[in-house]
Structure 1
Amino acid sequence: MPYCYFDGALLEESKAHISIHNLGLQRGFGIFDLFRGRSGKPVFMEDHLDRFDRSQAFLGLDRIISKEEIRDAVNGLQEWNGFRESAYRLMLLGDGSEAEARLKPLFYITQTDLSLHTNPDSAGVILYEYVREYPTIKSINYLTSNHLHRRKMEASAVDVIYHSNGLISEASRSNVFIVKDGAVKTPGENILEGITRKHVLSFCGEIAPCEVGDVTLDEFLEADEIFISSTLKEILPIVSVDRNRVGDGRTGAITDQIRERFLDYLHQ
């Protein structure tokens, strides 16, 4: 049984329990973050902790979970679980009574073994008109994405691409990039600024012209190449949208270069 970090202590996951009266559970009032562990070491952890801090500030709980506490907990989990390849999930729920002026935090971390995790070589997506209520934070509210789960499965799709007023924003669990006429573009508004996205943008310009800005739905549908980025998917080529082929239906040359460069980047 793997260990977790729960409310200030390391313990077996089977011994961690949340009250049925927890406000975060009842009201969906909470945030999370997720980062990889590779060869027993966390990847981009400081970037994720910075984003977690920003999300914590939004919740306005009565205590901020410090980066030092999280680092110590991550080190403890790695020592106890010993996973070579893993995913750390930071969870923060508001706990207490709605009558209180400020709520206390219920914080925990789980570590999942990813030794058998693999990504497909390419995938399809579906479109849905929607903008998340608070797109700049990593909220636990995935109601819309989960509502569309059956539609995704029927379309053999890996994710849902959100759009509104003729503009693409993000996928339900990923950031979106398009390639057109040799140039890369990714939306900059109404998105969660992904950590993988951040690092792709740091080197993308060395491979192709790269721009952050509005991506219209028409541009998206007419793109030569599309890929999405996330912690677990990393760089995933998208070859179909609503079962319609993207480009020639194969992974594009620029996407391939970006994916290869990102994998090299992880091992620097």
Structure 2
Amino acid sequence: MAYCYFNGGVVDEQEVGLSIHNLGVHRGFGVFDFFRMRDGKYSFIQDHLDRFENSQKFIELSHIIKQDEIREAVDTLRDWNGYKDAGFKLMLLADGKESDSELSPLFFILHSDLTNHQPAPYASVILHEYVREYPKIKTISYFTSNLLHRRKTKTGAIDVIYHKDNQISEASRSNVFIIRDGVFKTPAEHILEGITRKQVLKVASEVGKVEITNVSVDDFITADEVFICSTLKEICPIVEIEGSPVGSGKVGPLSRKVSQLFQQKLMD
């Protein structure tokens, strides 16, 4: 049995049901956030709660789910489910019909056991021309990403790198960094400002120069090193892009160093 938080209370996941009239289901109108707990300690929870609140404000439902309520629910799920290493997915759907003048929030939290989760030590990626419609917030719309799932699986890629007008933006579920001549660069526009990205910017500045700037497709595929980062992937070095090696085709020294510093930060 696993417990979740659903619209004001903690319940067995199997007891939860959604209305067939829910606008989040009909139109994909909703937002979410996701954060980790490692050895009983929440990772960067305040950053995630702040971002989730901004997403709530953006979609303008009847009221905001307060951070105190979310924290209390998260603590309760931690105690009831008993996971030491886990993920918390905050989900907010617009509840009501399209004809309604005002939509209410339908809020729930999924709590998943990540005891056996191990981030990939390195991976490959593919490219796709696309920019998310509202990149600044975590919407539940992953249509393009899911449409590319078969291609990803066929090529063994861990993620899809989006680009438009020759400019790299982000991966479908991650932020992007390249390293050239010892300089770390990460795209500035059309991205979700990831919480892991925020921490990586800090630790990367201890290793070398960091630039938040435009990154062309050519910059990306000819970089000395590439890595992507996210809550679940943490820092994942990319050794192959569309079947071609990145640099030497092995995990680069600066990617490895930043990953080590990030792991130390998680333990602080």
In structure 1, the residue matched to 2:208 is 208
Describe how 1:10-89 pairs up with structure 2 within 5 A. Answer: 10-89=10-89
Correspondence for 2:165? 165
C-alpha distance in 1, partners of 2:132/2:120?
Answer: 27
**C-alpha contact (below 8 Å) 2:30/2:94 kept by paired residues:** yes
> Residue deviations 1:123-175, cap 9 Å, x none?
00000000000000000000000000010011100000000001000000000
How many residues are aligned here? 268
Report if aligned partners of 1:40, 1:82 keep a CA contact under 8 Å in 2.
Answer: no
Q: Does 1:191 align with 2:197?
A: no
> Once the two structures are superposed, what CA deviation does each residue of 1:29-88 show, in whole Å capped at 9, x if it has no partner?
000000001112211110000100111011100010000000000000001001010000
Q: Distance in 1 between matches of 2:119 and 2:200?
A: 18
Query: Would you say the 8 A contact 1:55–1:138 is kept in 2?
Result: yes
Say whether 1:244 aligns with 2:247: no
* Conserved? CA contact 1:3–1:12, under 8 Å: yes
TM-score by length of 2: 0.99
Query: Is the 2:21–2:97 Cα contact (8 Å) retained in structure 1?
Result: no
Secondary structure, aligned partner of 2:158: strand
Hey, what does 2:120 align to over in structure 1?
120
Distance in 2 (CA, whole Å) between partners of 1:37 and 1:23 is 31
Distance 2:209 2:157 in 1: 29
Match of 2:220 in 1: 220
Question: How far apart, CA to CA, are the structure 2 residues paired with 1:41 and 1:104?
Answer: 32
Give how far 1:203 is off: 2.3
SS class of match (1:236) = strand
Residue in 1 that maps onto 2:261: 261
- Structure 2: distance between partners of 1:36 and 1:203: 19
Query: One-letter code of the match for 1:127?
Result: L
Residue in structure 2 matched with residue 234 of structure 1 by the alignment: 234
Structure 2 counterpart of 1:262, which letter? Answer: F
Instruction: Name the residue aligned to 2:9.
Output: 9
Contact kept, 8 Å, 1:180 with 1:225, in 2: the verdict is yes
How far apart are the structure 2 equivalents of 1:99 and 1:18?
Answer: 18
* Alpha-carbon shift at residue 6 of structure 1 (Å): 0.2
The whole-number CA distance in structure 1 between the counterparts of 2:189 and 2:259 is 24
Q: Supply the RMSD in Å over aligned alpha carbons.
A: 0.6
Q: Which runs of 4+ in 1 moved over 3 A?
A: none
For residues 209 and 19 of structure 1, the distance between their equivalents in structure 2, rounded to whole angstroms, comes to: 51
Tell me, what secondary structure is at the counterpart of 1:258?
helix
Shift of 1:98: 1.6
Opposite residue 87 of structure 1, the aligned amino acid is G
Unaligned runs of 5+ in 1: none
Question: Identity rate of aligned residues, in percent?
Answer: 53
* 1:223 and 1:247 in contact (8 A); partners too: yes
SS of the equivalent of 1:218 reads helix
Tell me if structure 1 keeps the 8 A contact 2:36–2:42: yes
Amino acid across the alignment from 1:23: L
Structure 2 unaligned regions, length at least 5: none
TM-score (norm 1): 0.99
Aligned equivalent of 1:142: 142
- Give the Cα–Cα distance (whole angstroms) in 2 for the partners of residues 266 and 221 of structure 1: 30
Q: Which residue of 1 aligns with 2:103?
A: 103
What one-letter code is carried by the residue in structure 1 that aligns with 2:7?
D
* Distance in 2 separating the partners of 1:206 and 1:121: 22
Aligned residue for 1:157, secondary structure, equals coil
